[in-house]
Structure formats: C-alpha cells, structure tokens
Chain A
Amino acid sequence: MTTEEFKRNILRLQPRLQRTAENIIGDSDSAADVVQEAVIALWEQRPTIKTGEMEKLSLTVVKRRSIDLLRKRKPMVPIDAESLMLAEPPQDDSEERYRLARKLVDQLPQRQRDAILMKYEDGLSVEEIEKATGMSSTHVYATLSRAYKSLREAIKQYKEEQ
C-alpha cells in the first residue's frame, strides 16, 4: 500500500475509528490519542497491509488499544474485552445531522452564522472570536444568544415542513 493510499484510507476511516474508540473509552480526547497511536502502528505494518483489509485491521487495532488504555486506567475493574471487541460502533448518523445543522446555520444572518461556526465547528473560544471578528465579548455573547434563538426557530420551521 502506497503512502497516498494509506493516507486516503485513514482519513476516510477517521470518524469511525474515533467513534469506536470513544465508545470504548468514553472520552473523545483520549480516543483521538488512541487513534493516532493506532495509525502509527498501522504505518509500521503498511507494506504488508492490503487495501481491502485496511478498514477491518484499523478497527481491530483501535479497539485493542482502547481496551489496553481502559485496563491501565481501571486495573481493578473487570473488563469484558471480548464483548467490546465484538461490539460494533454506534450507528453513524453524524454526517446526516451535520448536514442538517449546516443547512440551518447557513440560513442565519452572516454575523450569527460566523459566530456559531467559529465557536462550534472551528472550536474557538470567545476571546479568539473577539480577536477574529473585532467584536467585544459582550457583543459575541449577544450574537451567539441571538443565533441560538434563530436556530430554534429554524428547527421548528424545519419540523413543521417535515
């Protein structure tokens, strides 16, 4: 498997790997660390991995590493590793929900939309949004509050249309 193939496959599988790890560990940041470690381990084995095996193998590695981390954290708590290994990751409806969220957010006024996307999608703090937009913190909080209100209205309207 070439480097480009490996990269493409990993980036495609990343949301699923993240969810799998989060489901076992219960912590998104630790799950992200586990995914990174798994990617490094898979990189070492890259020459022997066939393209068709990538998904199954990467999921197995992430599960094993997640269980190992869980054992390190809670050595006295018995872990049913077998059931965790066999457990499928939760149904992936995040993409659908994201698409809906993005559709509703895009209908907001420009300033409210920018504030929501910066805070949630880009993960910026209020101070960072202040610097990025040149607004004061009070103005940012007020803009966000108006954005939540607009979103409620948008959801209500969406549900009525459904």
Chain B
Amino acid sequence: MNTENEMNEEVRRLLDSLEEHGKNVRRQKELGELIDGLSEKELARRRVVPLWWIIGAAAAIALLFWLLINPSMKQTTDIQQEILVEEKRAVDSININNEAKDVVLEEAVVEETLLAEEMPQNETRKSGLLRFARNDETETLQEGIVQEQLIATDTTNIGSNNIPDADETPSAVQSPKRRVIRSLNLVCYECQKDPEIYTKPVMEDKTLFGQPQDPNMKNGALAFEIKLN
C-alpha cells in the first residue's frame, strides 16, 4: 500500500513536471509575442519620430517666414504713408500754383481797376473833388456814390478796361470771400515760399488795418472797396 502510494506520488510528480514544462513553453511563447509586440511598437514610434521632426522643422520655417514677412508689411505701410504724404505735398503745390495764378489774375484786375480809377480822379480834379480822389478807403467810401457815377460815365471811354464789380471779377466769382481776405492780407504768404512765383515786396507801407502792404500791388484798399460796394 505504501509502495503504491509512493508510486502514485512518483507518477503525480512526473505529470506535474510535464504540466509545468508545458506551461513554461506556453509562457515563453507569450513572452516572445510580448517582446515582438514591444519591438513593433518601438519601430512604429521610430517611424513617427522623424515625422514629428519634419512637422517641427516646417513649423519653424513657417515661423521664420512670418517673422521675416511681418516687418516688410510694416515697411509697406510706411511706404504707403510716405506716398500719401507725397501726394498731399503734390496737391498742396498744385494749389499753390493755382493760387499764384489767381494772384497774377488779381494783379491784372487791380491794374485795370487802377486805370479806371485814374479817370474819375481827373474828372473829380476838374470838379474840385481832387482831395478825395487820392485819399484812403474811408474817404473813398464817403465819395463812393460820386465816383461810381463818374466811373460809370468814363467806362465807355476806357473801352476794354471796364471796371468789374466785386461779383464779376474772375477770382471773386470763384471765391469772393477768399479773394477779399487775401486782398486784405495783401501778401500771399504761401506764394512767398516760391520765389519764382512771388518776389518778396518791400513792406514799408501799411494797410488800413496796420498790415504790411506791397507798394506794387495796392489792391488792399481797392479790394476792400469793391467788397464793400
């Protein structure tokens, strides 16, 4: 009985060793598969890493381009602003030229007016009104009615030197207010900036309002007179 039990124990141990061996074989197989899986995962990761490098490099290049382009965009706006300033200057210079032309035109009108003025002065001299003819604007205003009548009579003799009314002068028609103001100032300060258009006059005489007057123009009083009329 004892021997039989021992034999049974021996058989059990043998079968256990068989079982253990079989289990170990299966575990080794599992471990082999596990290692293969880990290896494949690592290989996949290795394949992905260069992709990340490429993406990172592309992002860095894009950032670099953005950094390079952004200041040039600023430069563009600076250039645009410069262009705007230049345009403004050009427009201003054109305006100055136009105003200079207006001044020349005004000078012509003033000359005509002065010629017309001399005629009634001769007449008034004959009629004893000489003292009023050479007086300033206030005196001229006092005698305005008489002078108007005389001017009206003599304009036929003058021919083309008709005295235009304030509303009829070219610059007055265009912008009477501006003309009067400029005539009162007597000096086109913007024109003075360009010596070719305007030669600076000797400002010894004063206007009615105490401003320096160009002795060559003498249109302040006349312009004032025309405006008042």
Contacts and interface: CB of A to CB of B under 8 A. Distances in A.
A121 B13 CA distance: 13
A1 to B, nearest CB: 12
Interface string B131-160: 000000000000000000000000000000
Interface stretch (A59-67, A97-105, A127-135): A97-105
Contacts of A121: 18-19, 21-22, 25
Interface in A5-35: 6-7, 10-11, 14-15, 18, 28, 32, 35
A116 B16 CA distance: 11
Contacts of A43: 35, 38
Main SS of chain B's interface residues? helix
Main SS of chain A's interface residues? helix
B35 A120 contact: no
B32 A94 contact: no
A36 interface: yes
B18 A101 contact: yes
Contacts of A148: 11
Contacts of B8: 152
Contact of A97 (B17, B25, B28): B17
Given A102-B18, A123-B19, A39 B35 contact: yes
A3 B43 CA distance: 11
B206 interface: no
A40 interface: yes
B19 A11 contact: no
Given A94-B21, A102-B18, A151-B11, A11 B32 contact: yes
Given A152-B8, A155-B11, A6 B22 contact: no
Interface in B20-79: 20-28, 30-32, 34-36, 38-39
23 contacts: A3-B39, A7-B35, A14-B28, A18-B24, A28-B23, A32-B27, A35-B27, A40-B34, A94-B21, A98-B20, A98-B21, A100-B17, A101-B18, A104-B14, A105-B14, A105-B18, A116-B15, A116-B18, A120-B22, A121-B18, A148-B11, A155-B14, A156-B7
Interface of B: 7-8, 10-11, 13-15, 17-28, 30-32, 34-36, 38-39
Interface of A: 3, 6-7, 10-11, 14-15, 18, 28, 32, 35-36, 39-40, 43, 94, 97-98, 100-102, 104-105, 116-117, 120-123, 148, 151-152, 155-156
Given A40-B38, A104-B14, 19 more contacts: A7-B36, A10-B35, A14-B27, A32-B23, A32-B30, A35-B27, A35-B31, A36-B30, A36-B34, A97-B17, A98-B17, A100-B17, A101-B17, A101-B18, A101-B21, A120-B19, A151-B15, A155-B10, A155-B14
